[in-house]
């Protein structure tokens, strides 16, 4: 590739990145602007006078509880997804199970279903088991989509791991379960982290499950809190943008901390 063409591709890549990042940038700086400056013409790309009052106000109005609810729901969903998906994917990758092809096809079909399709049957089921107005409604609902996705991703990775590694561990005295825990799981950390992070991000951004299965607003996550704040704050956009800025902080922190593992996990299956 010529240097000129490489520079052109770099410029195009930078432009595309800036286009996608700009809405996030605008959201964050709007949170620090006064209400008057937000509607100023021409608009300012940087706050003339940083205002922290929006963040103070949203914390006084209970964003802390919404944040705690989001952490609880997303954390429980991630744990549940990994607890079910990792052994399931390993079993589908290593054992000749009757109907395995149908199971994998069923997992693929679940990824095509919109959330609205399963809302009614889930609501009826959760009502029968007294799971409404609790954390378990949104947790189990998000897991219904997170588990099949994680199984499909991890199964591909497990297939690429040489069976000789397990056989060597068994020769050294490990049972199948011990070999799985001590050999396979450490090798699979990048892919497991990817599945856990995606499950966390999906449940963190959930809105429809939380407001459907929880009528008690004290159990609502941040996304539902923002939805509720639209009516509470009206056109006070700086408060709403402050709310949204706080809601994306955990996602940014997790991505920055796990960036290498996420990239490695996403490409490792395709390389194998």
pLDDT of residue 100: 77
Dist CA 254 CA 84 (whole Å):
22
In a domain, 234, yes or no: yes
Q: Do the Cβ atoms of 194 and 266 come closer than 8 Å?
A: yes
Which residue do the tokens 């989509």 mark? 145
**CATH code for position 199:** 1.10.3720.10
CA atoms within 13 A on the CB side of 133: 5
The whole-number pLDDT of residue 75 equals: 92
What's the burial of 262, exposed, middle or buried (CB within 10 Å: 0-12/13-18/19+)? middle
pLDDT of residue 257: 79
Looking at the domain assignment, is residue 56 inside a domain?
Answer: no
Q: Find where tokens 């709310």 sit.
A: 243
**Tell me, what's the pLDDT at 23?**
87
Of 32, 51, 70, which one is at a domain's C-terminal end? 51
If asked whether residues 10 and 81 sit together in one domain, one would say: no
Average pLDDT along the chain, 272 residues, taken 10 residues at a time = 79 89 86 80 80 79 84 93 91 82 79 79 89 90 87 84 80 79 83 87 86 85 75 66 84 78 58 44
- Contact between residue 227 and residue 117 where contact means Cβ atoms under 8 Å apart: no
Asked if residue 175 and residue 133 are part of one domain, the reply reads: yes
In a domain, 207, yes or no: yes
Do residues 44 and 68 both lie within one domain? Answer: no
Range of the domain at 80: 61-271
Give the Cα separation of 84 and 80 in Å (integer). Answer: 6
Check residue 219 and give its pLDDT: 86
Largest CA distance in the chain: 74
Q: CA 249, CA 271: separation in Å to the nearest integer?
A: 32
């Amino acid at each position: 590739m010529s240097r000129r063409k490489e520079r052109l591709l770099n410029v195009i890549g930078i432009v595309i990145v800036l286009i996608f990042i700009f809405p996030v940038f605008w959201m964050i700086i709007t949170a620090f602007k006064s209400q008057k400056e937000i509607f100023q013409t021409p608009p300012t790309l940087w706050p003339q006078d940083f205002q922290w009052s929006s963040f103070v106000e949203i914390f006084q109005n209970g964003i802390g509880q919404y944040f705690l609810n989001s952490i609880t729901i997303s954390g429980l969903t991630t744990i549940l997804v990994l607890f079910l998906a990792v052994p399931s994917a390993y079993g589908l990758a290593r054992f000749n199970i009757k109907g395995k092809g149908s199971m994998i096809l069923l997992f693929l079909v679940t990824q095509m279903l919109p959330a609205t399709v399963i809302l009614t049957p889930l609501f009826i089921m959760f009502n029968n088991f007294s799971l409404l107005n609790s954390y378990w409604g949104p947790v189990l609902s998000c897991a219904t989509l997170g588990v099949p996705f994680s199984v499909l991703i991890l199964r591909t990775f497990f297939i690429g791991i040489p069976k000789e590694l397990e056989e060597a561990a068994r020769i050294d005295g490990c049972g199948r379960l011990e070999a799985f825990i001590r050999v396979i799981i450490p090798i699979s950390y990048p892919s497991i982290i990817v599945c856990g992070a995606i499950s966390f991000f999906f449940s963190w951004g959930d809105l429809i499950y939380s407001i459907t299965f929880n009528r008690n607003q004290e159990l609502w996550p941040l996304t539902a809190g923002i939805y509720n704040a639209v009516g509470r704050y009206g056109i006070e956009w700086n408060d709403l943008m402050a709310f949204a800025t706080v809601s994306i902080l955990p996602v940014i922190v997790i991505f920055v901390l796990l960036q290498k593992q996420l990239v490695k996990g996403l490409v490792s299956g395709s390389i194998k």
